[in-house]
Amino acid sequence: SAVISQKPSRDICQRGTSLTIQCQVDSQVTMMFWYRQQPGQSLTLIATANQGSEATYESGFVIDKFPISRPNLTFSTLTVSNMSPEDSSIYLCGGQGAYEQYFGPGTRLTVT
């Protein structure tokens, strides 16, 4: 099974700034994803992180706001740009293995 780590685990940021979240998988997964969980809500897929090419974004999410990189099979970053209080959420990295989906512990972001 894969273990996914994320950094930072939490942060408090001022509006208008940007935060980059790192995701590291300890073994290869076929696909990597970024999810958002807003307070009291279930998860929503932001994008699929593609190795060496532009991420594939879901409806309602754009590259200018959530730029994503995946330089190799086991590492990805998500940047939350020009933050507003509405971006306060838990951001989770996910990886698809052969038989299950793995999730990172999440990054709890508060924007003031």
Contacts to other proteins by CB under 8 A: 31, 33, 35, 37, 41-45, 47-48, 58-59, 90, 92, 94, 99-103, 105-106, 108
**Rounded to the nearest whole angstrom, what is the least distance from the CB of residue 57 to other proteins in the complex?**
11
3-state helix, strand, coil in the chain (%, to 5): 5, 50, 45
Count the Cβ atoms, other than its own, within 10 Å of residue 99.
6
Query: Is the CB of 73 or the CB of 90 nearer to other proteins?
Result: 90
The nearest distance, CB 93 to other proteins, in angstroms, is 11
CB of residue 15 to other proteins, shortest distance in Å: 23
Please, are residues 35 and 20 in contact by the beta-carbon 8 Å criterion? no
Residue placing its CB nearer to other proteins in the complex, 11 or 58: 58
Nearer Cβ to other proteins, position 48 or 79? 48
Q: 10 Å Cβ neighbour count for 67?
A: 17
Closest contact distance (angstroms) between CB of 54 and other proteins is: 15
Q: Contact 27/98 with Cβ under 8 angstroms?
A: no
Residues 6+ apart with CB under 8 A from 42: none
Q: Identify which of residues 48 and 51 has a Cβ nearer to other proteins in the complex.
A: 48
Q: Any idea which residue has 């990597």 for tokens?
A: 32
